[in-house]
Chains A and B, each alone.
Chain A
């Protein structure tokens, strides 16, 4: 296994992007990380021996198949970024609508959490402790699974360190995706988690099928784009609905 191979660099890229998406919640961090995942995916696809490398970018040889992945990522990130950004312009409707008891309690809880309070360095560190420790466990689980249950490294494939990195990458993306879905507090975070799971399945499919099926590539991209569109719709609808609830005053909170 080479320690300075391009595959290692790609795997480290996946690791860094996944870590950013698990630890941070701000869309300004998670969406560029998602785009970087698709860039990495495009690069990794270009390294697969059965994918024709038909594009030359200086010393770098890439495949048009990998480029499709990058373009898909760009479309997805554009949809999600536009949704997150457009919330500024969504108009607050006239009038207020009372929430029922449970919703009001939830809102009070959310408002208490969102209340700007001075946070010290120690508290800020503590807020990141859980995601960071989860991340460490996730990396350990990924390595264990890739060693114990290698779905790509089979006797049917020629021996190469590339397959180990593919196993690591798809396990990592799938686990990061599931963790994102489980820890999500917003529709957009759920969508990012699901997109990571799809990217993981995409990587596994391409490697195991050992061919480039045009229909399957198109359909995988369509599924991802439809998912992003659907979550954008739900995200805006949730936002509109939440805007119409009366938020409790600071006296009510205390």
Chain B
């Protein structure tokens, strides 16, 4: 019963906050109460005791519980920032709905049901992409509508590819001599995850969507939907060796593909002059790192991938919150708009520096702690696998220095400026501390992640 309540509570509160959308404070407190109650419910569920409900098996492991807490923390932060920055009525209801479904994904073990739930989550977010209160609905730029439509199409195709991929995997496990099914399954699953997570070359929707939608909505997408999708990928990666064994050289192709995707995303990030698009390319690069870690198919690869998934959510929540505050405060998200930010909004500037350095994998931040294991594993496969990662980190670092440089320039008094609200700054401070903690003291988290890995119901 507790399992069902964990999923149903945020969904019911989503409806409540949607109906109370006009009463801003009530919706905000309702959302906060739902998150706290959800955390309490999660702590009450016994670990490793599966229950059968409506024909499906629901269970919670230590790693699953950790992920639920992280989702509540990052999702809650993004929702609070979106609310205080007046980024529309929909982020809180859609965020709570997504959170409830995300917990369903974590509790379930059937890959088909999980693929479909992920699709439902992504489609729910699509409805919020056009919720921009500063722009009348009928006057939305066509490019913004095209970005939303592109996302709608991509997410549907990704869901179909995942569904078919897992079906083909079932056929392969039934007839292991038929390697055609293994090839088809691996291809469809790789394309499905690539499309859903915006990995280069399947990334075209992500920067456009990030550019045109509010940072609250894109923050929800990367912290909730993408984090849960990556956890799903991690759970699937334990069945991956069976597929890789059936297809010669497929493991190397997957790893090389992920490394190439990361390098390409870093190069594309270096060419951006708008923070939102830059953040989208950085997210794509980070997802490629998680792909690489999971495609190793080893316990340390899994541990590194799960750590990087948690880091992905926290770092991107911080990055998109900073960009959102910057946009709210100065009315622009271009790199030149950062002039004087270090003096006027030191916490926002610090947040940008910490988030970007951590996503580039620079020590002593959380990104490095996760990538260190990945670098060791890559080196074990040969310098050819490590070199793209070092190059990607170097390019990303250069892109960040180029983008952050204007922040240190003296203030232009002519640029209009608003002081950010204190709750948003509080969220930034918490996320900065979390990223520093992940980098300086990752052992407690790594210990939990070294525990029995969450599995999928693949025979």
Contacts and interface: CB of A to CB of B under 8 A. Distances in A.
A98 to B, nearest CB: 13
Contacts of B159: 223
Given A190-B153, A204-B167, A231-B152, A241 B123 contact: no
A234 B138 contact: no
B386 interface: no
B120 A237 contact: no
B130 A234 contact: yes
A208 B170 contact: yes
A93 B113 contact: no
A220 B116 contact: yes
Grouping DSSP codes into helix (H, G, I), strand (E, B) and loop, the A interface class, with mixed when no group exceeds half, is helix
A223 B155 CA distance: 11
B160 interface: yes
Given A156-B174, A187-B149, A241 B124 contact: no
B140 A241 contact: yes
Interface in B127-151: 127, 130, 137-142, 145, 148-149
A92 to B, nearest CB: 10
Given A154-B171, A204-B164, A215-B56, A223 B138 contact: no
A18 B127 CA distance: 28
Nearest to A208: B167
Contacts of B156: 194, 197-198, 223, 227
A151 B55 contact: no
A59 interface: no
Contact of B112 (A93, A190, A209, A222): A209
A97 B164 CA distance: 45
Contacts of A154: 171, 174-175
B127 A229 contact: yes
Nearest to A207: B167
B90 to A, nearest CB: 11
A241 B116 CA distance: 32
Contact of B153 (A181, A198, A244): A181
Nearest to A221: B116
B380 interface: no
A222 B112 CA distance: 14
A115 B168 CA distance: 49
Contact of A209 (B140, B145, B153, B170): B170
Contact of B113 (A187, A215, A233): A215
Interface in A131-162: 149, 151, 154-156
Nearest to A239: B138
A197 B155 CA distance: 13
Given A194-B153, A216-B113, A241-B145, A230 B160 contact: no
B163 interface: yes
A238 interface: yes
Given A155-B175, A223-B116, A226-B120, A213 B55 contact: yes
B163 A205 contact: yes
A240 to B, nearest CB: 4
Given A155-B175, A229-B127, A230-B126, A237 B137 contact: yes
B157 A226 contact: no
B54 interface: yes
Contacts of B160: 197-198, 201
A253 interface: no
Contact of B139 (A155, A208, A241): A241
B139 A234 contact: no
Interface string A150-191: 010011100000000000000000000000010000010010
B215 interface: no
A201 B156 CA distance: 11
B123 A226 contact: yes
B127 A230 contact: yes
B323 to A, nearest CB: 24
B412 to A, nearest CB: 29
Contact of A227 (B54, B112, B152, B163): B152
28 contacts: A103-B142, A149-B180, A154-B174, A156-B175, A190-B149, A194-B153, A197-B157, A198-B156, A198-B160, A213-B113, A214-B54, A214-B55, A215-B56, A215-B113, A216-B116, A219-B117, A219-B119, A219-B120, A226-B120, A226-B127, A230-B127, A233-B127, A234-B130, A234-B149, A237-B130, A237-B140, A243-B138, A244-B138
Interface of A: 93, 97, 103, 149, 151, 154-156, 181, 187, 190, 194, 197-198, 201, 204-205, 208-209, 213-216, 219-220, 222-223, 226-227, 229-231, 233-234, 237-238, 240-241, 243-244
Question: Shortest 10 CB-CB distances between A and B: which pairs?
Answer: A219-B116, A240-B138, A226-B123, A194-B156, A201-B160, A230-B126, A223-B119, A230-B152, A208-B167, A215-B113
Interface of B: 54-56, 110, 112-113, 116-117, 119-120, 123-124, 126-127, 130, 137-142, 145, 148-149, 152-153, 156-157, 159-160, 163-164, 167-168, 170-171, 174-175, 180
